[in-house]
Structures are given as structure tokens and as C-alpha cells.
Amino acid sequence: MRKKLFTYLVSLVLMQCAFGQSVLPVSTSGNKLYGNNAKAGNYADFRGFKMYYEIYGTGKPLLFIHGNGGSISDFKNQIPYFAKNYKVILADSRAQGKSVDTSDSLSYEMMADDFNALLDKIGVDSCYVIGWSDGGINGLLLATRHPEKVKKLAITGANLWPDTTALEPELFQWMVAANDSLGKVPQIPAVKAQKKLLNLMVYNPQITPADLKMVKCPALVIGGDHDVILRKHTMIIADAVPQSYLWILPDSGHSTLVVYKEMFNQVVGDFFKKPYRKLKGMAQLD
């Protein structure tokens, strides 16, 4: 049984490698340890758990939201760049990183409302948002459920629903099988926590293109040309958001903001600075 349990947990790590999230190492910049910085970090005690967050820089607020199984440290390549001009707000999502949540339930809607509560807690009435993977889903939901909070939204590797029309088929089928397998092993805390996150991806989100008509802010929708989120699905998201740009990066998988870190930072930074306009049916940056 222990051997089987070990195999399942290793498989989950490999799955997270495919999504390019939690396997990114925590790194330092000077004396800063992103995701574990006592000087920049704090906890917001609300909504039944304690949400860990860090703030860097000054200026207009910019919220980063990480992906499934990830943490603040996943944005090590973005924090120094954006903290030069923005008040960068990062948090470990519910049940991930240092934001421990032992409850059985977990949903994207719940996490989007957590971020809304965090912004209220620190006195931010609206902000720019960058979301990666599950963080992109949370960003879309934050923009639909709390539209006044989001000035502009940049998302990469997000999906609206979980099936083989949205995700790479072999990966999705493996996720379903892994989720079923985890249900058959003793539910020790480590397994229970992993199953909660995997179960979230297998059955959620459940967002329709019509729902995205509620996104009132300009959005930059990003994907890799061989992302685990299918290109055609990323295009559905871009088509559904009323004020959107689509950016597909060549020779990139799910980790666009790692593979193209300098270009990603520059293009997203320009998107935040420049006004949105449409010309002859095409979205353009002035």
C-alpha cells in the first residue's frame, strides 16, 4: 500500500510539472525570499482560513494569482520587474502554499471571492490582475463576480471547463484516472490535500462563453502554441471577452511567463499602460 501511495504522489508531482506550477523553485532576489518573506508577508484572517500574502513596491495595485498547487514563488521572474512601477500584491490561494485550509470543499468561485476579500482587507478598490493557469480562471471569475475590482486582466493558460475539448486529451484522461486512484488509498492529510486540488481541476471550472460577456475590463488572453490548454479553447476565451487581445506564444507550453519571461513582462506591462481600442474588428494597442 505504501508503494502504491508513493506512486500516486509522484504521479501528482509529474502532473504539476506538466502544468508548470508548483515545481518552480522558490528563489531569492537580494535578501528577498518570495513566498517566505517575513518583512513583506502577512496573513488575512477571513472566510474560514488564513490567507498568506506579500506586497512589494509602490504605485498602482497589481494582483498576481498563481496556478493549481502553486504559490507566490511562481512569480519570481515577474515580481522585481513589476515592483518598480506597481504595488505588487501576491497571495497563496486557499489550500495552497502557506494558506492552509483543512475544509473539504474548494471551488474557483470560492477562491475568486477570497481575492476580493483580500483586496478589501488591504484597502484596494481596484487593481490590475495577472493570472496563471488556475490563477487565470480565478482572474476571470474575479472580473465577472466583482467587476469593479479589475482594471485590466492578463491571463495565461486558463480554461473555462475541464474536458478533452479544452485540455490536452491524454493529460485530461490521466488526471481523471489519477483522481480516481487517489480515492482508493488511505486518506491521510497529504493525500486528502492533493485530491482536493486534483478534484478541483477534474470537475471545474464550469464557465460558459456567455458568462465572459460580464467581463467589463480589457483582457489580454495568452497561451503557448503547445500549451496543455488547447489553442482553440484559448481562442474561445478571447472571442468571448468583449474587450480582448489574443497572444499565442510560439514554442511554448503552459509556462509562458517562464519561457518568455522578459517578453511576457514587457508586453503585459505595455498592455496595462496603453488604452484599449478596436480598429476594423481587430484589437490594437495604441
Domain ranges in the chain are: 2-22+38-275
132 Cβ contact partners less than 8 Å away, ≥ 6 residues apart: 21, 65, 66, 67, 70, 74, 75, 155, 156, 157, 257
Q: How far apart are CA 52 and CA 229, in angstroms?
A: 28
Q: Which segments within the chain are labelled E, that is strand?
A: 28-29, 32-33, 41-46, 49-56, 60-65, 86-91, 127-132, 150-156, 219-224, 244-249, 276-279, 282-285
The neighbouring-strand residues paired with 127 are 150
Q: How far apart are CA 238 and CA 73, in angstroms?
A: 28
pLDDT of 183: 81
Instruction: Give the range among 65-69, 223-227, 281-285 with minimum mean pLDDT.
Output: 281-285
285 Cβ contact partners less than 8 Å away, ≥ 6 residues apart: 245, 270, 271, 274, 276
pLDDT of 7: 44
182 Cβ contact partners less than 8 Å away, ≥ 6 residues apart: 8, 12, 191, 194, 195, 198
Residue 285: burial class (beta carbons within 10 Å; 0-12, 13-18, 19+) = middle
Categorize the per-residue pLDDT at 192 as very low, low, confident or very high, splitting at 50, 70 and 90.
confident
pLDDT of 104: 84
State the chain's mean pLDDT as an integer: 88
Categorize the per-residue pLDDT at 191 as very low, low, confident or very high, splitting at 50, 70 and 90.
confident
Q: Taking 50 as the threshold, does the pLDDT of residue 233 lie above it?
A: yes
Other beta carbons less than 10 A from residue 23's beta carbon? 15
Q: Taking 50 as the threshold, does the pLDDT of residue 130 lie above it?
A: yes
Q: How far apart are CA 201 and CA 224, in angstroms?
A: 19
**151-164 b/e (C-beta count within 10 Å ≥ 16 → b):** bbbbbbbbbbebee
Share of the chain above pLDDT 90, in %: 77
Share of the chain above pLDDT 70, in %: 86
Length of the chain: 286
Categorize the per-residue pLDDT at 285 as very low, low, confident or very high, splitting at 50, 70 and 90.
low
Instruction: Give the range among 13-22, 207-216, 238-247, 248-257 with minimum mean pLDDT.
Output: 13-22
Q: What CATH number has the domain spanning 2-22+38-275?
A: 3.40.50.1820
Categorize the per-residue pLDDT at 32 as very low, low, confident or very high, splitting at 50, 70 and 90.
low
Q: Taking 90 as the threshold, does the pLDDT of residue 286 lie above it?
A: no
- The predicted-structure confidence for 265-279, as pLDDT tens digits, reads as follows 999 999 999 887 764
Which residue has better confidence, 64 or 32?
Answer: 64
Q: Taking 70 as the threshold, does the pLDDT of residue 186 lie above it?
A: yes
Q: Which value, to the nearest 10 degrees, does the dihedral of the CA atoms of residues 142, 144, 149, 152 take? A: 90
Mean predicted confidence (pLDDT) in 122-135 = 98
pLDDT of 124: 98
Mean predicted confidence (pLDDT) in 171-189 = 87
170 Cβ contact partners less than 8 Å away, ≥ 6 residues apart: none
Mean predicted confidence (pLDDT) in 38-65 = 96
pLDDT of 118: 98
Categorize the per-residue pLDDT at 284 as very low, low, confident or very high, splitting at 50, 70 and 90.
low
